[in-house]
Structure 1
Amino acid sequence: MFRSRSKEGQAATHQVSAAEPKETRDPEAPKGRPTPKRSEAQGPRRTLSTTPTSRKDAARRQKEARRADMARQREALASGDERYLPARDKGPVRRLARDFVDAKWSVAEFFLPMAIIILVLSMINAGAFQSYVMLLWLLLIVLIVIDSVVLSVRLKKKIRERYPDEPKRGAVAYALMRTLQMRRMRLPKPQVARGEKP
């Protein structure tokens, strides 16, 4: 019952294991290149590591990155470079809205200088003159409303024709806000001349 294995069985097992190839590599075999020094191996790893060492360092880096982004955005607003524009100015629909407004004269762009003139005139206290000033103010508002409605209808039609699949939400309001600014104060800077077809 408790018999030891025969010598023949042990020999057969030994022959089978001897026939199997060795999986381990000879530790003395050359690997084709010298082992680098620790300083050489860790050098590139140190340069790639950009983890801030302290909270103060992290805050400083964030501030620098934010400053660089703002500088890029300012340049883009001046040049019209689409890549670095703020999110509200990006996209072909917004660009068309800007060009559509910049290519035409609008009553709303004279609102600010006219408001200053009307304010100065309203200080003159000369009988019926005040009623004329109020009439002028009312006339300006009515003209701005009519011009804005016409611009909205024409811009919507143009956007539908040129960009039927693009999201159009907020484009008309964006254009109307742009008309309230004087041309030289608009950002992004106008990229088309007056009378040019957008």
Structure 2
Amino acid sequence: MIGRRTPVEPEPEPVLPGKGRPTPKRKQAEARNRRPLVPEDRKEARRRAREQRNESWARQQEAMRTGDERYLPLRDKGPVRRYARDHVDARWSVAEFFLPLALVMIVVMMFAGAYPQLAGGLVLAMYGVLVLAIADSLFMVWRLKKKLAARFGEEKVPRWTGFYAFSRNFYFRRMRQPRPQVGRGEYPA
């Protein structure tokens, strides 16, 4: 074995730690990250922002008419809120007629100034209707909370859902936003 050579394996090149390129100078990194605070064409940027805002508003208004969950405001989104809306919209209530009735009573009271007994009776009647509307709405909220807890579980029902239903109940049906998606008597399943 004296004249025989053994093949020598080449040594692997040492792996140097790092990213394989030089670190950029601070000036170069700052220049690359620099963006203007104000766009070059401010009128164009304002026009684009206005278009986006108008488009978003139009989508939201369309969702308020159709009940499309994707574009509703956060206040109205979710299955719990939809159930509460449908429950309120399916029933007749004294509260929804309170505002128109109060407006009529105020107009009548303006002309009934010559008859103090009539004006006093109208004030008492208006307070009576208000108390009736509040009692009816509180009873509705109590029943709704029970139904929501049974259907979705108490932990899934947002805290202010009762107030949401209570305030919706006081609007005249045609003025409610989002628009009612169910008819009278069509309670949610």
- TM class by smaller structure: 0.7 to 0.9
User: 2:52 & 2:181 partners in 1: Cα distance?
Assistant: 28
Shift of 1:130: 1.9
Residue in 2 that maps onto 1:152: 141
Measured against aligned partners, the alpha-carbon deviations of 1:128-187 in whole angstroms (never above 9, x if no partner) come to 212211221121111012101101100110110111142422111111111111111111
The aligned amino acid for 1:126 is Y
User: 1:178 & 1:83 partners in 2: Cα distance?
Assistant: 21
SS at match of 1:128: helix
SS at match of 2:115: coil
TM-score, reference length from structure 2: 0.74
Measured against aligned partners, the alpha-carbon deviations of 1:13-34 in whole angstroms (never above 9, x if no partner) come to xx979x89xxxxxxxxxxxxxx
Question: How many equivalent pairs are there?
Answer: 153
Shift of 1:127: 4.1
> Once structures 1 and 2 are overlaid, which stretch shifts more, 171-180 or 76-85?
171-180
Report whether the alignment pairs 1:135 with 2:112: no
Shift of 1:60: 2.2
Report the aligned-residue RMSD: 2.2
SS at match of 1:110: helix
Residue in 1 that maps onto 2:32: none
- Unaligned 5+ segments in structure 1 are 1-11, 21-51
The aligned amino acid for 1:175 is A
Q: 1:100 aligns with which of 67, 87, 95?
A: 87
Runs of 4+ in 1 over 2 A off after TM superposition: 52-60
TM-score, reference length from structure 1: 0.71
User: 1:137 & 1:113 partners in 2: Cα distance?
Assistant: 11
Identity %: 49
- Unaligned 5+ segments in structure 2 are 12-38
Residue in 2 that maps onto 1:179: 169
